[in-house]
């Protein structure tokens, strides 16, 4: 009887030696906001979009919120569900439109396009658009803390998300305006040191010219604008 028990145990143990084929993910695909790589207009889980840094001829533009999926790529385009979180947003319907979002065929990434319009209200009021991913027939919601995205939308100068104090010093709208006029650059992500130096020098030159003509340039807080 005892021998039979040993034999039986041995057989069970050997059963664990069977090579098992790799199991692919086969559940419904999941989708979430992709934050790992910084997109040109996106920094982490929010972005600030200001028409103030754009020519007056630009009346609308589109912001793309990057998406990534968990699961297999499909042979056809798939719809991603999304909506505005009305309770936490400050949103004038005339200022934005969430366009249909898809994950294209054979792709693991996509975007939620949000069309933004340059409406007069943006001159005085900043919109805060909280966009949320929701379940759709093709996707369920993915990484739980990467399902919401904030768009700050305005038409007045505001500190861009790529602003760096160690490059330009303390932020002010007046300084930012000077930088835009001097360099035409509004996004300061991913710049190498030599390019940064050139931008900073252009700003210094613009400030030098201004001060020679008008005296010290003061910002909206009454402090002189300076560059290091």
| Residue ranges in contact with other proteins by CB under 8 A | 192-198, 200-202, 204-205, 207-208
Nearest Cα residue to 26 out of 70, 65, 81, 58: 70
* CB of 79 or CB of 202, closer to other proteins: 202
Q: How far is the CB of 213 from other proteins (least distance, A)?
A: 13
* Angstrom distances, CA of residue 142 to CA of 28, 34, 65, 134: 10, 11, 15, 9
Q: Which residues 6+ apart lie within 8 Å of 180 measured at CB?
A: 53, 186
* CB of 57 or CB of 228, closer to other proteins: 228
Letter string b/e over residues 99-120, b meaning 16 or more CB atoms within 10 A of that residue's CB = eebbbeeeeeebbbebebbbbe
Q: How far is the CB of 153 from other proteins (least distance, A)?
A: 32
* CB of 107 or CB of 202, closer to other proteins: 202
Q: How far is the CB of 185 from other proteins (least distance, A)?
A: 11
Q: How far is the CB of 205 from other proteins (least distance, A)?
A: 5
* CB of 124 or CB of 212, closer to other proteins: 212
* CB of 159 or CB of 181, closer to other proteins: 181
Q: How far is the CB of 214 from other proteins (least distance, A)?
A: 16
């Amino acid at each position: 009887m005892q021998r039979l028990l040993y034999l039986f145990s041995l057989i069970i143990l050997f059963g664990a030696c069977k090579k098992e084929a790799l199991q692919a993910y086969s559940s419904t695909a999941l989708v979430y906001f992709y934050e790992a790589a910084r997109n040109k207009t996106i920094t982490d889980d929010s972005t600030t979009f200001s028409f103030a840094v754009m020519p007056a001829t630009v009346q609308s533009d589109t912001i793309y919120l990057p998406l990534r999926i968990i699961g297999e790529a499909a042979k056809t385009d798939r719809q991603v569900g999304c909506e505005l979180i009305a309770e936490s947003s400050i949103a004038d319907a005339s200022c934005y439109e969430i366009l249909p979002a898809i994950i294209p065929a054979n792709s693991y990434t996509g975007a939620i396009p949000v069309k933004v319009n340059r409406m007069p209200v943006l001159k005085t009021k900043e919109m805060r658009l909280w966009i949320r991913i929701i379940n759709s027939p093709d996707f369920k919601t993915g990484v739980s803390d990467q399902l919401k995205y904030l768009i700050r939308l305005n038409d007045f100068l505001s500190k861009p998300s790529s602003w760096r104090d160690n490059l330009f010093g303390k932020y002010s709208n007046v300084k930012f305006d000077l930088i835009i006029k001097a360099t035409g650059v509004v996004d300061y992500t991913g710049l190498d040191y030599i390019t940064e130096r050139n931008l900073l020098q252009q700003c210094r030159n613009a400030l030098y010219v201004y001060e020679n003509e008008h005296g010290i340039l003061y910002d909206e807080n009454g402090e002189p604008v300076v560059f290091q």
